Chains A and B, each alone.
Chain A
Amino acid sequence: MTAVPAKQVSNEKVLLGDEAVATGALDAGISAAYSYPGTPATEIAEYLVRHAKKHGRPHASWTTNEKTAYEEALGASMVGRRALVSMKHVGLNVAADPFMNSAIIAINGGLVVAVADDPGMHSSQNEQDTRYFADFAHTICLEPATQQQAYDMTREGFDLSERFQVPVVIRLVTRLAHSRAVVQVKPPRPENDLRKAPDPSKWILLPGNARKGWQALLDRLPDIREYTETCVHNVLTLNADDRTLGVITTGTARNYFLECAGQLKTMPSHLHVGAYPLPVQKIRKLLDHVERVLVIEEGYPLLEGQLRGLLPEIKPIAGKLSGELPLAGELNTDLVRKALGLSERTATVLTTLPLPGRPPQLCSGCPHQDSFKALKDVLKGFDHSLVSADIGCYTLGALPPYEAIESCVCMGASVGLAKGAAEAGFHPAVAVIGDSTFLHSGVTPLMDAVAADANMTLLILDNGTVGMTGGQPTMLSSSGIEKLVLGTGVKPEHFKVIEAHPKKTEQMAEVIRKEIDHRGLSVIIMVRECLETARRSKKKVAS
């Protein structure tokens, strides 16, 4: 190997897919960025928040949840500035209301929503595919295959958003979000001037206006389709000498196909799709050219499903719906190899030893351990009990040695679940939620519980941080959360705050026991800072 001397050009950066999105947004001249942390999207906003701390502008901040993040970004767009909002896939469920409606209001300053899907569920509750959301809203979705595209598409997304007056979705997947490669960046563009949306009626979605807005969006669709039909992200390469196989790839699926393509006898005709709505003409051209087609997409079979339609197939289509590729989980080169009919590679196998899994676990000394110990001690005294829980490090309390919780559905669900169970007649019903998740989506069901004086006990594990995603700040301090809880009308005599400490588990258990015995709503906050966050802030003080 001859090592070429390094290219010392400053327009090259080594970036995670997430960071490429952030850099693309910065260079597109955003004025604001908002996000709620969630793997695999967290590093987008982390990058921008760090940048804002260092340089002052553009504004970048964490928010209470994805819905507030989206609405704040929309506010920036309303006054003509560009804004980025980023979140994990399930975050868009929370932000679905503003997202769907923002497609109708005639976006002013460019609005890009970067959503990171998690096929394979590395760190998620499901593997929903955000391309369906973009389709649902009738807007543009760009799907990068590389870090370079993540940068380019994000930049371009802002132009498209202003041109077509729609929010533009950038759909990432874990493998792109969390892998690094070299990205060539271009000179940055300045921020937009302040320019309030010229026609406020477009932003007032009264039925009369909304009907007009919806129609206007439908009228813009042919132009949007014309764009995706001709843009550089949807690339059709026909092999004139071989008409047997056509391959359609979307997003990162292209990488796996290209890994294998060199080993095929002939290069199949290939359509790569990186921009939606689907380029129907290009798809037709490919299908006209070949005998059969293989569709490789990361996520749900969106394109494949549309291609099959309801009527009998015109040509044989292979993909996830016909079993050549699995419907569940993440794609990889080996699965694509098989679908292309290439032989499996020899692998080393371990026969001598059973290999135990090594699941993630709570840090040793984590305050949640004390809370779980106290709770389990109390519940031993009951024949049956229900502990609904939520999303965060404490979800690991489902695993041995704790096995202390019985649910994890979506952000904030623990509170409503306990209330519903209590009202169905179950006792004791205990909900366990972290401070950040409580602020994200637990306050609203708490108001329901207060109004009904539901016979349940809510444990808020207050560690002063968003622990699981790396210690982002919460929106309210511990004292703020106390005031908030009392402000919802929780009875002060059934509101307790206690330190979560290994030496205090008996006292904690005593408090929990008493409040479970109370027939009505109780809220107990167990406080101690996350060890990781404490370590990080100490480091910061020291340096």
Chain B
Amino acid sequence: MKRDIIIAGVGGQGVLSISTIIAASALKEGLHVKQAEVHGMAQRGGAVVSDLRLSDSPIHSSTIPRGCADVILSMEPLESLRYLEYLSPEGLVVASESPVINISDYPELESVLAAIKNLPRSVLVDADGLARKAGSPRASNMVMVGAVSGSLPLRQDTLESFITEAFAGKGEKMVQTNIDAFRAGRALSN
């Protein structure tokens, strides 16, 4: 059993927090984990990606080879398309439908969403809307964790315990908001 997950987004969207919560949950459940991150220059509003590899046997490379990713999880629609060459032919794309338009040549949003819908297996998520309903637009990354969770070999309570841990420092309300966001996303994945 292995799950190769590419987590994509734009600097500042919380890609690393997603990666960290899934990685911690996988370790807790006894899996091998390798997680590659992007630090430094690229974090300034540029394209950001984290490769997360989970397996029940040892993992060698921290990056995912071409055509091997089981899932691309993207905080942004255009960014979900950037790493398609890494997606396996049976792979799944789970993408937020809210664009971050900070470049002048961003394509027509409709054509970006259409390209995602045209993929063999894809899910578009109204992450911003669901996060707002849960209490904070900033919780959209937890909506995305929820939305992908059905495709991960991880238990809901494990993931929720690490979400709780990640936001504990910000108060109970913040924890509840993020848990609600996660559950709203998870409802889509079931």
- Inter-chain contact B102/A344, CB cutoff 8 Å: no
Q: B18-38: which residues lie under 8 A (CB-CB) from chain A?
A: 23-24, 27-38
Tell me if B190 is interfacial: C-beta within 8 Å of chain A: no
Instruction: Give the shortest distance, in Å, between A274 (CB) and chain B (any CB).
Output: 15
**CB<8 Å pairs between A and B, sample of 30:** A6-B27, A6-B30, A14-B23, A42-B40, A43-B39, A122-B41, A175-B63, A179-B34, A179-B51, A181-B34, A182-B27, A182-B33, A255-B61, A332-B61, A333-B61, A345-B65, A345-B66, A345-B68, A347-B66, A347-B85, A350-B115, A353-B107, A355-B81, A356-B78, A357-B103, A358-B78, A358-B79, A360-B44, A360-B46, A363-B45
**Given A178-B36, A179-B34, A349-B85: A39 touches B41 (CB 8 Å cut-off):** yes
Classify the secondary structure of A's interface with B.
Answer: loop
- Inter-chain contact A358/B115, CB cutoff 8 Å: no
Measured CB to CB, the nearest residue on chain B to A37 is B40
A interface residues, how many (CB within 8 angstroms):
56
- Inter-chain contact A16/B37, CB cutoff 8 Å: yes
Instruction: Give the shortest distance, in Å, between A149 (CB) and chain B (any CB).
Output: 13
- Inter-chain contact B30/A5, CB cutoff 8 Å: yes
- Inter-chain contact A358/B41, CB cutoff 8 Å: no
Q: How far is the CA of A334 from the CA of B87 in the complex (A)?
A: 13
- Inter-chain contact A356/B40, CB cutoff 8 Å: no
Q: How far is the CA of A354 from the CA of B59 in the complex (A)?
A: 34
Question: A-B pairs with CB below 8 Å: how many?
Answer: 163
Interface 1/0s, chain A 24-48, versus B by CB < 8 A? 0000000000000001101100000
Pick the residue among A5, A256, A333, A358 that contacts B102 (CB under 8 A). A358
Interface 1/0s, chain B 55-86, versus A by CB < 8 A? 01001111101111000000000110110111
Partner-B contacts on A (CB < 8 A): 1, 3-7, 14, 16, 39-40, 42-43, 122-123, 175-176, 178-182, 254-256, 258-259, 332-334, 337, 344-350, 352-363, 393, 396, 400, 468-470, 543
- Inter-chain contact B36/A358, CB cutoff 8 Å: no
Tell me if B10 is interfacial: C-beta within 8 Å of chain A: yes
Q: How far is the CA of A356 from the CA of B81 in the complex (A)?
A: 11
- Inter-chain contact A179/B35, CB cutoff 8 Å: yes
Instruction: Give the shortest distance, in Å, between A340 (CB) and chain B (any CB).
Output: 13
Pick the residue among B29, B66, B105 that contacts A356 (CB under 8 A). B105
Tell me if B17 is interfacial: C-beta within 8 Å of chain A: no
**Given A14-B23, A258-B60, A352-B111: A178 touches B37 (CB 8 Å cut-off):** yes
Q: B97-147: which residues lie under 8 A (CB-CB) from chain A?
A: 102-107, 111-112, 114-115, 118-119
